Amino acid sequence: MLNVTARQELMRTIVDTLGVVVEEARLDFGENGLSVRVVDPSHVAMIKMEVDSAAFDAWEVDETKLGLEMRKLKEIVGIAGAGDMVELAYNDESGQATINIGRIDLNLRPLDNTTLNPPNVPALELPCGVTISGSELAQALRAAKMAGDLVNLSITDSSFAVNVKGSTDEVNVEFSKDELTAIDCSDAARSQYSLTYLTPMAKIFQGIDNVNLRFGENFPLKLTFDFSDGAGHVEYFLAPRVEGDF
Amino acid sequence: MGSNPALPAFLKSSREAQVYPMSAPYMGCNLRDLANAEDTTVEAMRGKRVGIDSFLLAFQFLTTIRDRSPTGDGGPLKSDNGKVVAHLMGFLSRASMMLAKGVKPVFIFDGSHPDLKKDEMDARRAKREQAEADWKAALEVGDFATAQKMAQRCVKYTPEMVEESIEMLTLMGIPAFRAKAEGEAQAAVMAANGQLDAVATQDWDALLYGAPVVIRNLTSDGSKRMGRVIRAQRIELSQLLTENELTRDQLIDLAIMIGTDFHPGIKGIGPKTGLKLIKEYSTIEAVCEAKGKDIPDRLDEIREVFRNHPVVEVDDDFLKQGDVDVEGLKKFLVEDRQFSLKRFDNAMDLLEDAGLVRTGGQTSLFSF
């Protein structure tokens, strides 16, 4: 049995965030909260999400793993207005999931769970990190997109820079130590990522106060942030672009 | 890929002596009556790492992907330059289909057969040699109908063809290797120790080797044979043992009584009687004593082959799906073996959808 209710904004954050990476996800509801791990089919981007039950307005949960289509959820959550309550229920006897918004009831059949195995999160040693305002980072990435599709992130112990060198244009955005919430870096590093993956994620974190980025030289990026007053937590992993054999 | 009117190159091969002495797919000890097989699908195996008993599969390809033109010799399909390609064509299409459906296949080929299997292998070789003689005779007198029938019975899968299959699968980024001994046994042991989620084989013996989950018809799921649709079937060892109230050792003894690759079995004991007897007496020795039968020769050796089959140690890292070497695969198939570009592109489309074709230096999270 499952019956959870949350404001539209929270449901939207959850669905939009997961939707950046996958079309289908297995949502694991437990006694204390929701946890999800998804990876895109190319294994380039991954999300690990945890949402504490406290972020929800109602939480009646017997451990349930629910496979759902993000597109459908996005659509139904989009129909609800800001501040509306969205209720998600699952009846294990009928195998039916129901989303209720006011007088709207959407009955849907969940996806086969066994085909949606959560990926293992890679164990990464990421030597450099920076904490930055979500809106400033999103703005830098939006500017970067103007020059090309591949963004270079570089970091030293005192600065963090976003750079794109296109065939004709170039964009540079540099943040010095005092413009950042925090920075730590023992060895200067630079790594390149695809904006095709990163830009949709920027839309998610542009309203977040503090976003933490960690990476290393030609190494995956790990981007973490909280939402819903710290009750929700997202880890986003992105594999780098590397020249030559890989 | 047209037909080649000349006698197949491999018939003239000087490597004849090294040819695998296997003539037809063997289904292992018949445990069908004991197993409560459940219908399943390829899709249900999404995300699962499945060990594929590849030898049997290769034979299936070599006997079904044939030159069936009216004056064809009925042998496995060859490219215009005379190379047999039926096995590669089969592996290419099945492997890309599985990858596209999110299954993680691991192709396991037979190594050397246990010494115990010598009699069985000799019998199979004799059968094949007879068929081969009949085939040549039929071709000589232009009896193509007989030739095509015989051709199926003398199909050979040479060590070169095995190496070639492994090379192609490796280019596709798929783990493929040769077992120390029996392929289905290697897969079963790896499934039992958690390296694989299931074993795909037609061979019931995989259960005797301890495979917790066996999938039959995985690669032919959804295809039609004699007017009926083939469905993949899932058999669980623990369920089989519980339902029949057997231990694994008892199941092995039961199989040995019915007859296996390593021993013809005890005369007059089939699956039904065997099950009753093993439940009553628990071991072959006790059954034989009670029923006045001879204990099979080398019984303990046969048991040991099932209980502790020799296997190669395989590193977990080796079992990960890698990226497709598009250029390498194209050269291997299109340039060297005259596969049509269309066939190649179709396979690439499937692999691309599966996110396995990488371009421009984009790495995967799982390579770190």
Chain A residues whose beta carbon lies within 8 Å of the beta carbon of residue B47? 114-117
Tokens representing B271?
């699956």
| Contact across the interface for B365 and A122, Cβ inside 8 Å | yes
- A18: its two tokens: 């997961």
d(CA A118, nearest CA chain B) in Å? 9
Q: Can you say whether the dihedral through the CA atoms of A109, A113, A115, A121 is positive or negative?
A: positive
> What does the pLDDT look like over A49-70, one tens digit per residue?
999 999 999 999 999 999 999 9
Query: Which CATH number applies to B244-307?
Result: 1.10.150.20
Closest to A176 (Cα-Cα) out of A132, A207, A209: A132
What distance in Å separates residue A81's CA from the closest CA in chain B?
Answer: 36
Q: Does the beta-carbon distance from B363 to A239 stay under 8 Å?
A: yes
Q: In what order do the strands lie in the sheet with B213-216?
A: B38-40, B232-236, B213-216, B198-200, B49-53, B104-109, B176-178
Alpha helices in A37-177 (DSSP H): 70-79, 134-145
* Per-residue CA distances from A210 to A31, B60, B139, B349, B352 (Å): 28, 59, 79, 41, 36
Residue with tokens 């890309």: B96
Q: Quick one: closest CA in B to A239, which residue?
A: B365
Contact: A43, B365; criterion CB under 8 Å = yes
| Closest CB to A243 among B353, B361, B365 | B361
CB-based contact A246 B361, cutoff 8 Å: yes
Please give the Cα distance from B165 to B9 (Å, whole number): 18
Residue B166 has, within 13 A of its CA and on its CB side, a CA count of 17
Q: Which residue has the tokens 């049509």?
A: B340
- In eight-state DSSP terms, residue A4 is E
Q: Which residue is it, tokens 């594999």?
A: A239
Q: Do B358 and A122 touch (CB under 8 A)?
A: no
* Boundaries of every domain in chain B: 244-307
Out of A115, A239, A242, the one facing B365 most closely (by C-beta) is A239
Say how far apart CA B198 and CA B187 lie, in whole Å. Answer: 8
Q: For the stretch A167-178, what's the b/e string if a residue is b when 16 or more beta carbons lie within 10 angstroms of its beta carbon?
A: eeeebebebeee
Q: Name the strand (E) or helix (H) holding B42.
A: none
Distance (Å) from the C-alpha of residue B191 to the closest C-alpha of chain A? 18
Q: Do residue A122 and residue B363 have CB atoms under 8 angstroms apart?
A: no
Sign of CA dihedral B85, B90, B92, B93: positive
Token reading at A184: 């730590």
**Entry field: residues in chain B:** 368
Tens of pLDDT, residue by residue, chain B (368 residues): 333 333 333 322 222 323 343 434 456 667 887 888 899 988 888 889 999 999 989 988 888 887 777 666 677 888 877 888 999 999 999 999 999 888 999 999 999 887 777 777 788 888 888 888 887 888 788 777 777 777 777 778 888 999 999 999 999 999 999 999 999 999 999 999 999 999 999 989 999 999 999 999 998 887 777 778 888 999 999 999 999 999 999 999 999 999 888 888 888 888 889 999 999 999 999 999 998 888 988 899 999 999 999 999 999 889 988 888 888 999 999 999 989 899 899 898 888 877 787 766 788 888 88
Give me the interface pTM, i.e. the ipTM.
Answer: 0.89
Among residues B178, B180, B197, which one has the least CA distance to residue B188?
A: B197
Spatial contact of A116 and A200, defined as CB atoms under 8 Å apart = no
Compute chain A's Rg from CA coordinates: 19
Nearest-Cα distance to chain B for A219, in Å, is: 8
* Cβ separation B362–A45 shorter than 8 A: no
Q: Which of A22, A37, A43 to mutate to test the interface with B (most CBs of B within 10 A)?
A: A43
**What predicted TM-score, i.e. pTM, was given to this entire model?**
0.64
User: In chain A, what residues touch B355 (CB-CB under 8 Å)?
Assistant: 40-44
- SS3 for B356? coil
Find all residues with CB under 8 Å of B206, minimum gap 6, and list them: B28, B53, B184, B185, B187, B188, B199, B214
Instruction: Decide if B366 and A42 are in contact by the 8 Å CB cutoff.
Output: no
- Across the strands, what pairs with B84? B78
